[in-house]
Amino acid sequence: MLAIALFVYFKNKYSLDSKLLLFIALAFSLWTFFDIILWTNNDSRNIMFFWSLINLVELLVSVLTLYFAYVFLEKKDVSFKFKLIIGGLMSFFVFLIPTKLNIASFLLFNCEAQQGILLNYYRILEAFFSFWIVIYLFRKIKNAINTEERKKTIFLSLGVIFFILSFSGTNIYSSITTQWEILQYGLFGVVVFMSFLAYLIVKFQAFNIKMFGAQALVVGLIILIGSQFFFVRNFTNQILTGITLVLAVVFGWALIRSIKIEVERKNQLQEMSSRLAQANDQLRKLDNAKSEFISIASHQLRTPLTAIKGFISLILEGSYGKISAEIKDVLNKVYLSNERLIELVEDLLNLSRIESGRMEYKFEKINLGEVCQEIYDTFVLRAKEKNLDLDLVLDKNLAMEAVTDRNKIREVISNLVDNGLKYTPKGGVKIKLTEVEEKIQIAIIDTGIGVPEEEIPYLFSKFSRGKDISRLNAGGTGLGLYVGKKMIEALGGRIWVQSAGANMGSTFFIEVPKEQGEGE
């Protein structure tokens, strides 16, 4: 028991609980030492002397246990006032030790001492301390703030209560009934439960129990094998024992070393993961701040942009007088640039709506064939300007009706067609509608720059843009596909891309259910 306590003490020299555990072990060892003298000595003067002291040591063990439990759980020392009161109770006992009130006489022939009134005083005190510890521990368990705290308190309580039961309990019981065998069982318990308390210190003070276990195992094994030398007489057996001992030392050393490395790695990992968690937290806060900023900024941007659009339209229509063809041409360019700006602001607004969960969806029965026709009509001119073909493939026999949000789905398909035209230098774009089981599938197939396989997983992420697009000089934010994916998912559908690779064209698919499920 002393060995365990010393081990824990040297691992945590500066912690009060490991010091207290060492004191408990010292007090208990002292008690055992006195007890051995009591049972083995024949000189009644020696027996009288140690018998008068042993009760004080016993009391010391229970006071120290209470002190230990408090320090272990509260992580602080008890107040000075408190120490004075307990010290007072104990010193009162100390002064009376050499008097007749403690041990009046000792009869060697039947090994019995005549004990005075002080015995009752010490029993009451010991019982009082024991109850105090139990009540204190129960209150701590009840008021524990989290499960970790509660677990720790329950473990400690079990250790401490069994420790007290096996030491003070069996002691008091034996001295009342004079059945001293019970006390002997109790003494074994004391060692077991003190080892348990040592384990708790080790476990909750963050140095690794595995290490402790391995060291204890190896030392135990070496002692066990070494002790064989005292019993083995035969020379061959002595050599065999010697070899076993050397092997145990070598493998034991290797085991301890490998565990040490593992423990160090684990500690490093733990530290790294806690740093990562902090960084992650920081990132989340930044991300929130960014969303907030985007939302405010885009709302402020939208109003003046709409005003610019309105005024340019009025000028172009001639509301402010006739304008020259040259100015008209310039103004048209201003108008188009302004349109792109409005689109961009709209993308950012969509992003902030999605991220704050404020995007609203309106479900109604619509004809997707009609929607695609409208989109085709809007883009056919732009395709022609770029010398690209734009096709719409519809199966006239199919209804193509779905319950979904008309504006949202149109926005997503338009964006895909827009992308198709943007990222296709030659060839064309095809919009194709089909019905697949209970769903409608819209495919936007182009013959453009395609998507390299390694980019596919990131394509639908926020602000993600392919690395090949720079040479196309195509404007954009990398938000369209992200917003589209969020919208389609909210509509109960899915969106994905297929491409044979760079410059092999790409096909974007949208699939939406014809009917919306319950509660949507």
**Binding residues for ligand ADP, per CB under 6 A?**
415, 419-420, 423, 446, 448-451, 459, 464-466, 469, 476-482, 506
Least distance in angstroms from the C-beta of 459 to ligand ADP: 5
CB 431 to ligand ADP: min, Å: 12
Residue 305: CB minimum distance to ligand ADP, A: 18
- The CB-of-477 to ligand ADP minimum distance in angstroms stands at 5
Gap between the Cα atoms of 383 and 422, Å rounded: 9
Task: Give me 254's structure tokens.
Answer: 């290797």
Phi, then psi, of 127 in degrees rounded to 5:
-65, -40
Cα distance between residue 290 and residue 280, in whole Å: 15
Query: Within 10 A of 25 (CB to CB), how many other CB atoms are there?
Result: 25
State in angstroms the smallest separation of the CB of 467 from ligand ADP.
8
CB of 423 to ligand ADP, least distance (A): 4
In angstroms, the Cα distances linking 336 to 113, 247, 325, 422 are 111, 85, 17, 15
3-state SS, 77-119, equals: CCCHHHHHHHHHHHHHHHHHCCCCCCEEEEECCCCEEEECCHH
Contact 344, 360 (CB under 8 A): no
Structural contact between residues 167 and 197, judged by C-beta atoms closer than 8 angstroms: no
Nearest to ligand ADP of 401, 455 (CB atom)? 455
Min. distance of Cβ 385 from ligand ADP in angstroms?
A: 18
How many alpha carbons fall within 13 Å on the CB side of residue 206?
7
CB of 394 vs ligand ADP, minimal distance in Å: 21
Q: Which is nearer to ligand ADP, 130 or 499 (CB)?
A: 499
Minimum CB distance to ligand ADP, residue 294 (Å): 15
361: amino acid identity, one letter: Y
Q: How many CA atoms lie within 13 A of 14 on its CB side?
A: 0
**Please, what is the minimum distance in Å from the beta carbon of residue 337 to ligand ADP?**
16
Enumerate long-range contacts of 291-299, CB under 8 Å, 24 or more apart. 291/351, 291/352, 291/355, 291/356, 294/348, 294/351, 294/352, 295/349, 295/352, 295/356, 297/348, 298/345, 298/348, 298/349, 298/352, 299/349
Q: Two tokens at 309?
A: 């659009």
- Decide if 101 contacts 54 (C-beta within 8 A): no
- How long a stretch of residues is the chain? 520
